[in-house]
């Protein structure tokens, strides 16, 4: 039991440190980045890692490390905005259908099942393909796809909460439906919902990187991890560092979100 507890704390600490460090680097990007991420120097193109350029340079001579650090601001910030917007849209719908149930619940859930029947990335690519590439259209497309999963999860949490004994007392005490939702249901599900959102930020970063890699998301020359991977595909054999480091950045951030989400979820379940 003690060994399991130490393993749990170690994983949670690892996820928290990784997440915090990556976010802190993004916040301090103007002071931490050694070079201008947009500065082009063709004389230094595809330079290997060195003292001046710890992660080397890309095909235009731009510092890979600086672009990675500034890319945190783009990739992680967009992912957090999308997650917050998705949560804002999904929360009232999930609360309503989970609490009221009945015909409205069945009708909305059939539509949600239809959305969830398609893989996220395929449906997102289809929507962006219709709207056109770009930051705004990518954001709208990701929200349009991800809200369904949030509504389904919120609905399940609300229905589980409504089965508790104190909910019966709340109804018998003459509380209005709105007061019950605001005072008794929402506080009970909020912590689990935030854990789900933290875990989902990693998935959104992956989706943003995938769309940018395909040329449908963030557009060059803005530093973004998916854009960096896209630019590196033609040079991987001669300068593998231009693709390895952006891939590692994505992997580490997704790992941090996964560790935080899983461990907080296990902690909540243990209680």
* Angle in degrees, 0-180, between the axes of helices 64-100 and 241-270, rounded to the nearest 10: 30
Give residue 8's pLDDT: 52
How far is the C-alpha of 161 from the C-alpha of 165, rounded, in Å? 9
Give residue 271's pLDDT: 43
Give residue 209's pLDDT: 92
Give residue 268's pLDDT: 46
Pull the structure tokens for residue 126: 């289809």
Length of the chain: 271
The CA-to-CA distance between both ends of the chain, in Å, stands at 15
Q: Which pTM was predicted?
A: 0.85
How far is the C-alpha of 237 from the C-alpha of 233, rounded, in Å? 9
Pull the structure tokens for residue 192: 């689990």
Whole-Å CA distances, 183 to 163, 172, 239: 16, 15, 57
Cβ contacts of residue 233 below 8 Å, gap of 6+? 243
Q: Give the closest residue to 76 by CA, choosing from 263, 229, 250, 221.
A: 250
Q: Which residues pair with residue 63 across a beta bridge? A: 57
Give residue 6's pLDDT: 44
How far is the C-alpha of 179 from the C-alpha of 129, rounded, in Å? 43
In degrees, to the nearest 5, what angle opens at C-alpha 222 toward C-alphas 220 and 223? 110
Give, for all 271 residues of the chain, the pLDDT tens digit: 445 554 556 677 888 888 889 999 999 999 999 999 999 999 999 999 999 999 999 999 999 999 999 999 889 988 999 999 999 999 999 988 888 877 877 888 888 888 888 888 888 999 998 888 888 899 999 999 999 999 999 999 988 888 877 777 777 777 777 888 888 888 888 888 888 898 899 999 999 999 999 888 888 888 999 999 999 998 988 999 999 999 999 999 999 988 887 655 554 444 4
């Amino acid at each position: 039991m003690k060994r399991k507890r130490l393993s749990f704390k170690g994983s949670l600490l690892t996820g928290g440190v990784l997440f915090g460090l990556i976010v802190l680097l993004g916040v301090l990007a103007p002071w931490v980045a050694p070079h201008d991420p947009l500065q082009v120097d063709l004389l230094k193109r595809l330079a290997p890692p060195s003292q001046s350029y710890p992660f080397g340079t890309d095909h235009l001579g731009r510092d890979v490390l600086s672009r990675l650090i500034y890319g945190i601001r783009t990739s992680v910030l967009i992912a957090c905005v999308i997650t917050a917007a998705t949560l804002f849209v999904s929360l009232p719908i999930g609360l309503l259908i989970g609490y009221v149930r009945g015909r409205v619940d069945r009708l909305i859930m059939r539509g949600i099942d239809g959305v969830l029947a398609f893989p996220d990335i395929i449906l997102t690519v289809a929507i962006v393909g219709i709207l056109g590439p770009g930051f705004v259209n990518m954001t709208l497309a990701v929200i349009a796809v991800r809200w369904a999963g949030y509504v389904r999860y919120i609905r399940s949490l609300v229905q589980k909460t409504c089965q508790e004994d104190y909910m019966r007392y709340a109804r018998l005490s003459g509380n209005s439906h709105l007061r019950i939702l605001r005072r008794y249901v929402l506080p009970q599900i909020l912590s689990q919902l935030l854990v789900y959102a933290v875990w989902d930020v990693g998935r959104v970063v992956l989706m943003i990187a995938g769309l940018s890699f395909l040329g449908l998301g963030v557009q060059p020359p803005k530093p973004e991890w998916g854009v960096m991977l896209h630019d590196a595909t033609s040079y991987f054999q001669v300068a593998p560092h231009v693709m390895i480091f952006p891939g590692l950045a994505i992997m580490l951030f997704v790992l941090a979100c996964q560790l935080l989400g899983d461990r907080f979820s296990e902690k909540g379940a243990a209680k």
